Amino acid sequence: MNIDKIVLVYPKRDGLIFGRAHGSPYTLMRLASLVPPEIPVEIWDEDLHPIDFNRVTPHTVMGITSKTLSIDRAKQIASDAKKRGATVVVGGTHVTLAPDDVAPWADAIVVGEAYRTWPQIIHDVANDNLQPAYVDEEWAPLAGVAPLTDRVIKMVNEKKHYWTPYLEITRGCPRNCTFCTAIRVSGKIMRHRPIDEVVDEIARRGIKRFFLTDDNFGLNFRTDPNYIAQLFDALKKLPLNGWTAQAEMMVGEFPELLEMARHAHLDKFFIGFESVNAGNIRELGGKTKGSQEKYKQIINEIHRHGIGVVGLFVFGFDHDTPQVFEDTWKFVRESELDGVSVTILTPYPGTPQRDQWIAENRLMPDTPWSLYDTSHVTYYPKLMTVDQLREGYDWMCRRLYNPASILARGARAMRRVPLAKERTKFFSTFSTDFGYRKTYSFRDQPVPEYGQML
Ligand code: B12
Ligand code: SF4
């Protein structure tokens, strides 16, 4: 087939916040960079603009990225594009976790990573030889893989259209917490991008602040401190305003690296404490033991190095009773956290948690995938009723994300910021909690029908 253009689609959910979308379409930027220069490529982010199906032709290849909560929208987009004769390829998290769910309605599915399969797909389409499925779960080294091209950087114009640029430095997590998809989406082996490639990408994108896509950047403090030290040395020299990484709490045990992190402009860790209930340790992959005193010590230690901490908590584990909400709220009030994310445990396909609950017949029947957004209850909890979990979660969110609470936490966090940096840190100090407030707002909305999404 003669390809007239390749379009890469990010299905809508979040829309715009003050005229810009939440975060840059980093996955699609990396994939677009693999498209040979002679083929036109475009990124259609449905959070920015409605899809113009009039521009879809029988010579269009459409690649759609998928999360579980947006897979129904992806299916509708695929159906409309196929009516216009396009070839539709679907990749990403949901396909990787549940390929059989997508295979019936896509021309091709892409399971696992696509750094090698995506160029092959483009080649196969051009030669009328598209296969129904492409799988890459080898977790190959990241060196030299899909550097962002200048064509893509210019086309996306992150500064104009997006609040948060994303960046990948490492990939993978060996922990295998029962509820998490990381091991299947990013692999069990922790892999690193070469530092010079990371530095080059930041410089060419001209970004001053970013959020790492790495599932567990912090684990590298223990497993590969030399890489981390070299990375921090390199980032220290860049004119950055700040950056954020996901980590587990043991980063607090590495004071020298924390000090280097601060000089490398890292200003916020998202830390998965997951639960204040020590009964849940089996589910947490050995990374935390539910000890609140230990959590507080770690938060203090990280603060001591001038780095903020956003605490992530999940509700609805099998040892949780309604008491978990009070306990978490008390912990949040006492702990000086700079931001808080609370989610309802969600049995995503491909996780040990889902397998267990299927075996125990505890998944709610007929739950649409769009409710797999971590703020809806999709299963029958063990030690509370569905209503208790739902109402406890609402109670918690109302306390955490009311403007007064957000301002109080933000003001406390600002007190730790040196005067000279207050202007550049102001936005990031408050934006995390306000972002979670917006995410929680989906809780009250009815499930949209396909046609209502735009
Ligand atoms: C960045 C990120 C976000 C950003 C997204 C910004 C954006 N515009 O993309 C933000 C913060 C907004 C976000 C929000 C949410 N996220 Co999120 N997010 C991630 C994260 C950390 C990184 C994804 C990423 O960019 N990776 C780097 C890129 C380069 O790789 P990649 O995406 O894995 O893509 C590769 C392959 O999957 C494949 N591929 C992907 N798409 C396609 C498409 C085609 C056509 C092809 C060929 C290949 C292909 O090729 C790529 C290269 O190999 C992942 C965890 C992770 N590490 O994967 C979670 C993750 C995707 N998010 C998740 C969740 C649950 C959410 C939220 C529901 C959280 C919440 N409580 O609100 C929301 C949903 C919002 C929404 N509208 O979708 C889950 C998804 C689970 C699932 N089954 O769907 C993940 C896996 C985290 C987890 N471990 O549970 N998220
Ligand atoms: S440590 Fe974090 S990224 Fe790793 S498996 Fe557990 S929840 Fe997922």
Tokens at 173, concatenated:
């997590």
In a domain, 160, yes or no: no
> Do residues 119 and 247 share a domain?
no
> Do residues 71 and 185 share a domain?
no
Q: 213 C-alpha to center of ligand 1: Å?
A: 8
168 Cβ neighbours under 8 A, 6+ residues apart: 26, 30, 142, 193, 212, 213, 214
Q: How far apart are CA 355 and CA 345, in angstroms?
A: 14
Length of the chain (residues): 454
Gyration radius of the chain's alpha carbons: 22
User: Which residue, 238, 237, 297, 236, is CA-closest to 262?
Assistant: 236
CA 95 and chain centroid, separation: 16
pLDDT at 319: 95
> Do residues 336 and 419 share a domain?
yes
Q: How far apart are CA 10 and CA 158, in angstroms?
A: 15
Domain with residue 437: its CATH number is 3.80.30.20
Domain with residue 114: its CATH number is 3.40.50.280
State which amino acid sits at residue 194.
P
In a domain, 143, yes or no: no
Q: What is the DSSP string of 52-114?
A: -GGG--TTEEEEEEE-GGGHHHHHHHHHHHHHTT-EEEEEEHHHHH-HHHHGGGSSEEEEE--
In a domain, 454, yes or no: no
> Do residues 115 and 188 share a domain?
no
In a domain, 337, yes or no: yes
Give the model's confidence band at 447: pLDDT under 50 very low, under 70 low, under 90 confident, else very high.
very low
Mean per-residue pLDDT, 159-165: 95
> Do residues 94 and 234 share a domain?
no
In a domain, 141, yes or no: no
Ligand 2 pocket mutation, candidates 246, 250, 287, 343, criterion most atoms within 8 A of CB: 287
Write out the residue range of the structural domain in which residue 283 sits: 165-442
Ligand 2: atom nearest CA of 176 is 5
> Do residues 96 and 192 share a domain?
no
Reported as a single tens digit per residue, the pLDDT across 387-433 is: 999 999 999 999 998 888 888 887 777 777 776 676 666 667 777 77
Reported as a single tens digit per residue, the pLDDT across 90-122 is: 999 999 999 999 999 999 999 999 999 999 999
> Do residues 132 and 170 share a domain?
no
pLDDT at 382: 97
Reported as a single tens digit per residue, the pLDDT across 286-320 is: 777 778 899 999 999 999 999 999 999 999 999 99
Number of domains in the chain: 2
> Do residues 97 and 195 share a domain?
no
Q: 176 C-alpha to center of ligand 2: Å?
A: 6
At residue 266, φ and ψ (nearest 5 deg) are -70, 120
Q: 96 C-alpha to center of ligand 1: Å?
A: 11
Q: 68 C-alpha to center of ligand 1: Å?
A: 10
305 and 259 in contact (C-beta within 8 Å)?
Answer: yes
> Do residues 123 and 184 share a domain?
no
